Amino acid sequence: MGLTLVKNFLRWTRDHEWSAPAQQAVTLDNGTQVDIWDTGVIVFTPAQPNERDIILSCAVHGDETAPIEICDDLIERLRAGELETKSRVMFLIANPGAINVGRRFVEENMNRLFSGEHSQEPGLVNKERERAKQLEQYVARFFESAPNQEGQPRERLHYDMHTAIRDSAHEKFAIYPYTNGKPYKKKQLQLLHAMGVPVVLLHDGPTTTFSYFSVNEFGADAFTVELGKVRPFGQNDMSRFAQVKSMLEQLLRDTLELAPLQPEALHIYQVCRNINRTETDFELNFPNEVANFTSFPVGYELARDGETRYKVEAEGEAIVFPNAKVALGQRALLTVVPIAVDSMKLV
Ligand SMILES: O=C(O)CCC(=O)N[C@@H](CCC(=O)O)C(=O)O
Ligand SMILES: [Zn+2]
């Protein structure tokens, strides 16, 4: 059987910025069912799915194009039958409206709106709030509609792929959302390493990000994965994403063989402080060119928020995601410190 009337899924998604009618399901020659639930929402269900359900999301921030190109390529190869998945997989192209204007967001940063945050301010409705709420519903529908294979526990994975605004001392890194006190998983560190992501930053509390939503609501192993630097379409050096793509393909094909965990090859950072901008008069005390994971000496003043001054407190404390222009009340800077893999509670 051929493809659906939707010829190119990304193109069609961009032509329907905020919603689109579900499309009739199609079964490919290899038996995989393809369902399009909405704009940017496509699900592949193999005839005999294995025990793993995978969500690959991109464009929660519309200007982070490399992950969009990765997903586009995987989606079209799956639809053409060139790549065959053994797992149920859902791709989410989260914010097509923001892709079209080439910006992080249209009205509001979507990655601060999950876990119900989209509905916390009565009367405040905007496109990103509506879309975040719908994406939550699609995640629920996907994970909850998995077949019950004789009580076998299912493995739920969600990689929410991003690129960072700044240069970074570590080009690729993952954010391990707060686990609600549960141990971290060795296998997840191995999977990230296989993806070419040997640097992991551990969040120390709940967040309103997409990845934490999947962890908290569905017990998924979910990560925000930063794959490089924000660049416009056409300016990404796709060779820098070859390992990520190859790992994702092997994961879908179920041919991935994981190397044993190599603690010496990993760099783990613990979030030290989450600095929010609460005043209009907010400044960062270092230039825009300073890369993520740059450390400053103890006592150095990193930021000033009105009268409050934030100084480095810990040896090795480094900056991540500085952004003085965020909306009031939002995170303007994270600081992190390196920790030993041995000090992590791992299962
Ligand atoms: O480079 C930046 O300043 C931001 C890159 C980005 O979008 N990062 C995510 C991290 C989400 C998390 O903490 O899991 C974000 O800020 O939403
Ligand atoms: Zn992002």
Domain count of the fold of the chain: 2
Query: pLDDT grade, residue 1 (50/70/90)?
Result: very low
Which segments are annotated as binding site? 61, 64, 162
Please identify which of the residues 150, 226, 289, 301 carries the catalytic annotation: 226
How far apart CA 214 and CA 115 sit, in angstroms, is 9
User: Bridge partners of 175?
Assistant: 201, 224
Q: Residue 335: CB partners within 8 Å, gap ≥ 6?
A: 271, 272, 273, 275, 302, 312, 317, 318, 319, 320
148 plus 214 within the same structural domain: yes
How far apart CA 200 and CA 21 sit, in angstroms, is 38
CATH code for the domain in which residue 294 is found: 2.40.50.630
Asked if 221 and 157 touch (Cβ cutoff 8 Å), the reply is yes
Which residues, judged by CB distance below 6 Å to any ligand atom, belong to the binding site of ligand 1? Answer: 61, 111, 162, 164-166, 175, 207, 209, 211, 224, 321, 323
133 plus 33 within the same structural domain: yes
Backbone angles phi, psi at 246, to 5 degrees: -65, -40
222 plus 305 within the same structural domain: no
Query: pLDDT grade, residue 135 (50/70/90)?
Result: very high
Query: Tens of pLDDT along 292-342?
Result: 999 999 999 999 999 999 999 999 999 999 999 999 999 999 999 999 999
Q: Is residue 82 situated within a structural domain?
A: yes
For residue 62, the CA-to-ligand 2 centroid distance in Å is: 8
> Which residue has the CA at smallest separation from atom 6 of ligand 1?
164
Nearest Cα to 53, choosing from 144, 115, 131?
A: 144
Q: How many residues does the chain have?
A: 347
Which segments are annotated as binding site for Zn(2+)? 61, 64, 162
158 plus 299 within the same structural domain: no
How far apart CA 90 and CA 135 sit, in angstroms, is 11
Asked if 89 and 19 touch (Cβ cutoff 8 Å), the reply is no
Cα dihedral 330→336→341→343 (10° resolution): -90
Instruction: Look up 155 and say whether it is catalytic.
Output: no
255 plus 154 within the same structural domain: yes
Query: Tens of pLDDT along 93-133?
Result: 999 999 999 999 999 999 999 999 999 998 999 999 999 99
Query: pLDDT grade, residue 2 (50/70/90)?
Result: very low
> Which residue has the CA at smallest separation from atom 3 of ligand 1?
321
Q: Residue 38: CB partners within 8 Å, gap ≥ 6?
A: 19, 20, 22, 134, 138
Nearest atom within ligand 1 for CA of residue 203: 13
Ligand nearest to the backbone CA of 94: 2
Q: State which residues form the domain around 143.
A: 9-264
CATH code for the domain in which residue 81 is found: 3.40.630.10
167 plus 240 within the same structural domain: yes
Ligand nearest to the backbone CA of 229: 1
210 plus 296 within the same structural domain: no
H helices within the chain, ranges in order?
A: 9-15, 65-79, 96-101, 127-144, 186-194, 210-218, 242-253
Q: Which of residues 223, 245, 264 is at a domain's end?
A: 264
In angstroms, the Cα distances linking 199 to 178, 205, 225, 267, 296 are 16, 19, 10, 5, 19
Euclidean distance between the first and the last CA atom of the chain, given in angstroms as a whole number: 44
For residue 251, the CA-to-ligand 1 centroid distance in Å is: 25
What is the arithmetic mean of pLDDT over 147-165?
Answer: 91
Query: pLDDT grade, residue 4 (50/70/90)?
Result: low
For residue 87, the CA-to-ligand 1 centroid distance in Å is: 28
284 plus 328 within the same structural domain: yes
User: Bridge partners of 88?
Assistant: 53
